[in-house]
Amino acid sequence: MRPLKVAVSCLLLLASISWGQSSSGPGSNSAAGESARLPVTRVILYKNGVGYFEHAGRVRDNQDVNVEFTTAQLNDVLKSLTVLDLGKGRITGVSYNSNAPLEKRLGSLHLPVGSNPTTAQFLDALRGARLEVRSGSESASGRLLSIDEREIPIKGDQKVTIDQVSIVSDSGEVRVFDLNPTTSVRVVEKDVNEEVGKYLGLVASTRDQDVRRMTISTAGDGERNLLVSYISEVPVWKSTYRIVIPNEGKPLLQGWAIVDNTVGEDWKNVELSLVAGAPQSFIQELSQPYYARRPVVALPENAMITPQTHEATMAVAEDAPPPPAPPPAAMPTRISGNANGALSANYDRLSAFAAKEPVGVAGGMVGGAGSGVFKTGRPEVAPILEAATTAAQTRDLGDLFEYKLKDHVTIRKNQSALVPILQARIDAEKVSVWNPSESSVLRALWVDNTSALTLDGGSFNVLEGDAFAGEGLMDAIKPGEKRLLSYAADLGVLVDAKQKAENQRVTKVVIAHGVMTQFTQEREENAYTIRNRDTSARTIVIEHPARPGWKLTDDDARPAESSASFHRFRMTVEPRKTETLLVKEYRPITNAYQISNVTDGQIRFFLAAKTINPEIDHALRKILAQKDSMAALDAEVGSRKARISGITEDQQRVRENMKALKGSAEEKALVERYVRQLNEQEDRVQLLHREMADLQQKREAAQKTLNDMIEGLQMEVTL
């Protein structure tokens, strides 16, 4: 029959192992003998999903402190961690548990053990180590030889398999012990103990793989203040408001913020600030190893470099700057680093100041007084309205603004909270709003932010008459700014909008410097018919679109205010009444014409369209008449050029004929005839040239007259 394998637990066997380390934990050399946890004392959350965290507390002598965070925070912490020892001490190192896979981290140990070994596999990895084994009244010490299996018969033909440990004593004696619940094994060698401790520490770290523990080692004398700060990715905090409309008096605005704690530890009694802004931030995978590709350079085969000596300096140039002076002995500055790249600085002057007054080191961040065992001195903000009930202080920070909670808060990790940020009285008027993009009229509050507080954008709901009246969304509102906040449909008001467009008409003509400019207006009229079916008067706000290029006429009722997209007209309609709002607009259009290019057909068109008057028509026709006279002179010049061209062609024909008569019997008679003809043609050409010169002078005079007429025509006529 097949033997039955019996598993024996290793944990009981190792219960008596001495790890050979200090009780204060790995790497601790503190006088107090243990590592302390540095609590979160201050949190600032931003709208871009970034949080600023401060841990503060006191350390004594060479003490280690721990800060916990999640794996998701690791990259942000590595690129923003700031550690300041505000006393006469320094930071000697910052370490954290790796995020490499467990199997890869176990591979760096000298124990060839996997992540889930049996007792036999674990002890087999200790082969050759010095052990002390006890089983009942028997005991022995020596080096581990082997771990073997042995079958033991039980009832009938059944057998069980047990593990045996074999050790060799210093005298060479081999002793064998069965591994059972009464057997204990003690590792005697200190180095092996340390390896076993590292192994168990790595295995234990897998219980909470998402948590990273950062250990900060300090060195110094006495008690000192320690400040640790960093940024981390966090959920975006949200704003939500309640607007309570009383029967009398100003409405009450109550603001809340929704905050989520998803980091690696609790926020206990922390100073919380909420900033509505988005400082620039980015993600960089600093926790991942990067390897640069280096070029391979071959060694030169014939490079035989002779050792050299260099002469000593005999003189220093007169204009050379003196060497820098060492820092004053009273204020030494020590900067230390470690393998993780963390830097720290110890300033005796700062620590001396901290002994007298609270010191704030926030890396340029914003906030108020600290809390807990370590306090930071920060400027107070101005008092705000209703200080007795307001839960947070606010102040503008350029384009940002901050809500700093007066009371410290506690939010456990992986929990969320609704915290109050403001409570104040504001000016608000109930109105009905009509917008062309909406199919119905909306009830709204026309809010005037008289609270002196900047209101962050978010959702809001309205309570009226001890009941829920509606809800909506709003953008950020600065102090003194007005804003419409709609929250419900208004069933008591109807609005009917109609549009009527007029034909374009020229309103003015200006002629100057040879250009005629016609100013035209395109007009539209919008009629809004408003019916109040309710039993009480209603204030109606009509949002009329503000279109590019269109302007309101001067004779219209002026809008109460205008936004980038709308003109808001306000009017009151009595119960059961109907009112009409007329909004008239115009769009100016400009057309320009060169006077010198105007034709008779265009003038007739302008007259028919009534875009010019008879005075302009008479002036333009005088210019056309002058252009006609110039055209007649141009025609005369052209006619004479054509006649000269014809004579020139005929003369060329005659000369060709004279060449062909050479040596013939008729040459003499015909040549005499051709010579007389050429003389007559030459006389006519000279006459035509004189006529053309006269015509050209007349044409230049006419052109000058036309230019003077055009330049001198200055008119401005309103039609």
The whole-number pLDDT of residue 344 equals 32
- DSSP for 205-262, please give it: GGGGTTEEEEEEEEEESSEEEEEEEEEEE-PPPEEEEEEEE-SSSPPEEEEEEEEEE-
Can you tell me the distance from the alpha carbon of 96 to that of 382, in angstroms, rounded to the nearest whole number?
A: 42
| Continuous H helices in 110-159 | 119-124
CB neighbour class for 68 (10 Å; exposed up to 12, middle 13-18, buried from 19): buried
Can you tell me the distance from the alpha carbon of 703 to that of 705, in angstroms, rounded to the nearest whole number?
A: 5
Edge-first strand listing for the sheet containing 252-261: 415-425, 252-261, 238-245, 458-464, 467-474
Digit-coded pLDDT (tens) for 160-170: 787 878 888 88
Helices 667-712 and 614-660 meet at what angle, rounded to 10? Answer: 160
In which residue are the tokens 């400019």 written?
517
- Token pair of 156, please? 């009938």
- Beta-ladder partners of 447: 428, 483
Using alpha carbons only, give the angle 109, 113, 118 rounded to the nearest 5 degrees.
Answer: 150
Other beta carbons within 10 angstroms of residue 157's beta carbon come to 7
Contact between residue 556 and residue 584 where contact means Cβ atoms under 8 Å apart: yes
Digit-coded pLDDT (tens) for 646-702: 888 888 887 777 777 776 666 667 777 778 888 888 888 888 889 889 989 998 998
Torsion of CA 354, 359, 364, 370, to 10 degrees: 140
The whole-number pLDDT of residue 410 equals 92
**Nearest of 672, 673, 674 to residue 652 by alpha carbon:** 674
Can you tell me whether residue 179 is helix, strand or coil?
coil
- DSSP for 642-679, please give it: HHHHHHHHHHHHHHHHHHHTTTSTTHHHHHHHHHHHHH
Can you tell me the distance from the alpha carbon of 705 to that of 627, in angstroms, rounded to the nearest whole number?
A: 10
Report the b/e string of 79-106 with b at 16+ CB within 10 A.
Answer: bbbbbbbbbebbbbbbbbbeeeeeeebb
The CA distances from residue 114 to 271, 376, 460, in Å, are 45, 49, 57
Write the CB contacts of 592 (distance below 8 Å, at least 6 apart in sequence): 515, 516, 517, 518
pLDDT < 50 positions in the chain: 1-33, 302-390
**Nearest of 7, 4, 205 to residue 121 by alpha carbon:** 7
| Continuous H helices in 357-474 | none
- DSSP for 514-579, please give it: TEEEEEEEEEEEEEEEEEE-SSS-EEEEEEEE--TT-EE-TTSPPPSEE-SSEEEEEEEE-TT-EE
Contact between residue 717 and residue 613 where contact means Cβ atoms under 8 Å apart: yes
Other beta carbons within 10 angstroms of residue 156's beta carbon come to 7
Contact between residue 426 and residue 449 where contact means Cβ atoms under 8 Å apart: yes
In which residue are the tokens 């590595």 written?
78
Contact between residue 53 and residue 262 where contact means Cβ atoms under 8 Å apart: no
Contact between residue 371 and residue 109 where contact means Cβ atoms under 8 Å apart: no
Please state the separation of Cα 120 from the chain's center in Å: 58
The whole-number pLDDT of residue 262 equals 86
Using alpha carbons only, give the angle 250, 253, 254 rounded to the nearest 5 degrees.
Answer: 145
**Nearest of 52, 569, 117, 465 to residue 267 by alpha carbon:** 52
**Nearest of 132, 110, 101, 92 to residue 197 by alpha carbon:** 110
pTM for the full predicted model: 0.56
The whole-number pLDDT of residue 204 equals 62
Contact between residue 84 and residue 345 where contact means Cβ atoms under 8 Å apart: yes
The whole-number pLDDT of residue 360 equals 31
Write the CB contacts of 397 (distance below 8 Å, at least 6 apart in sequence): 275, 277, 366
The whole-number pLDDT of residue 411 equals 92
Can you tell me the distance from the alpha carbon of 458 to that of 255, in angstroms, rounded to the nearest whole number?
A: 10
Can you tell me whether residue 307 is helix, strand or coil?
coil
Amino acid in position 379: P
